[in-house]
Amino acid sequence: MFRKLMPGGPSGPRRLASAALALGIAGAVVVLPGTAASAATYVPVSGAGSTWSANALRQWAANVKKNGMTINFAATGSTDGRTQFANGTVDFGVSEIPYGLYDSNFGRAADQPPARKFAYMPIVAGGTSFMYNLNIGGRRVTNLRLSGENVAKVFTGAIKYWNDPAIKADNPSLTLPARRIVPVVRSDGSGTTAQFTLWLSKQYPDIWNAYCARNGKRTPCGLTSYYPYKPSEGFVAKSGSENVSGFVRQPQGEGAITYVEYSYPEKAGFPVVKLLNSAGYYVAPTAENVAVALTKAEIEEHNTDPAVYLTQKLDNVYRNPDKRAYPLSSYSYIIVPVAEEYGLKQPDKGYTLGKFGYYLLCEGQNQAKSLGYSPLPKNLVEAGLKQVERIPNMAREPNKIANCRNPTFSGDGTNTLANNAPYPPECDRKGGPAQCTTGTGGAPQDTPSNNNGGSTGGNNPGGSGGPNPTAGPNATAGPNASAGPNAAPSAGAVDPLTGDPVAGGSDPGAGAGTGGDFVAGIPVALDADGGWRLSHTLMLLAGVLFVGLMIGPPLLARSLQRRGRNNSWSGS
pLDDT at 298: 86
| DSSP string over 47-108 | EEE-STTHHHHHHHHHHHHTTT--EEEE---HHHHHHHHHHTSSSEEEESS-TT-EETTTTE
Q: Is the predicted pLDDT of residue 172 greater than 70, yes or no?
A: yes
Q: Residues 346-378: pLDDT tens digits?
A: 899 999 999 999 999 999 999 999 999 999 988
Round to whole Å and give the CA distance between 308 and 303.
Answer: 5
DSSP state of 129: E
pLDDT at 343: 84
Average pLDDT over every residue of 538-560: 66
Q: Is the predicted pLDDT of residue 278 greater than 70, yes or no?
A: yes
Residue 231 pLDDT level (bands cut at 50, 70, 90): very high
Q: Residues 403-436: pLDDT tens digits?
A: 898 899 887 778 899 999 999 999 999 998 999 9
pLDDT at 40: 77
**What's the mean pLDDT when you consider all of the chain?**
79
- Kindly provide the b/e burial profile for residues 16-44, where b requires at least 16 CB atoms within 10 angstroms of the residue's own CB: eeeeeeeeeeeeeeeeeeeebbebbebbe
pLDDT at 454: 35
Q: Residues 26-53: pLDDT tens digits?
A: 433 333 333 344 457 999 999 999 999 9
Q: Residues 108-158: pLDDT tens digits?
A: 888 989 999 999 999 999 999 999 999 999 999 999 999 999 999 999 999
At 162, phi and psi to the nearest 5? -65, -25
Contact 328, 152 (CB under 8 A): no
Q: Is the predicted pLDDT of residue 282 greater than 70, yes or no?
A: yes
End-to-end CA distance of the chain: 60
57: number of CA atoms within 13 Å, CB side?
26
569: number of CA atoms within 13 Å, CB side?
6
Q: Residues 471-488: pLDDT tens digits?
A: 333 333 333 333 333 333
pLDDT at 552: 66
